[in-house]
Amino acid sequence: MFRADLASCADAVQAHLDTYLVAMGDTHVVQAMRYTLQGGKRMRAFLVMESARLFDISNAQSIWPAAGIPVIG
């Protein structure tokens, strides 16, 4: 169950990142951003979303800081 939840969170965060990277065009900087943000377990993003869930914060709201973690990490 944990692995499935972790994978689901990783997929959601990656989809969220991909959605916003598409809107930025296809410059060399955006290509580099896409490359560095591919893959990974997204454990920190998972912890952000699970912590938010404990306080009844929806996934739609917690996906934003969860997606920000890999960007700055």
pLDDT tens readout for residues 8-50 = 999 999 999 889 888 888 899 889 888 888 877 789 999 999 9
pLDDT for res 47: 95
C-beta separation of 10 from 46 below 8 A = yes
Is the pLDDT higher at 20 or at 58? 58
Q: Is the pLDDT of residue 3 over 70?
A: yes
Three-state DSSP class for 25?
A: coil
Exposure of 50 in the CB half-sphere (CA atoms within 13 A): 12
C-alpha torsion 59→22→8→48, nearest 10: -50
Nearest to 72 by CA among 25, 24, 40, 36: 36
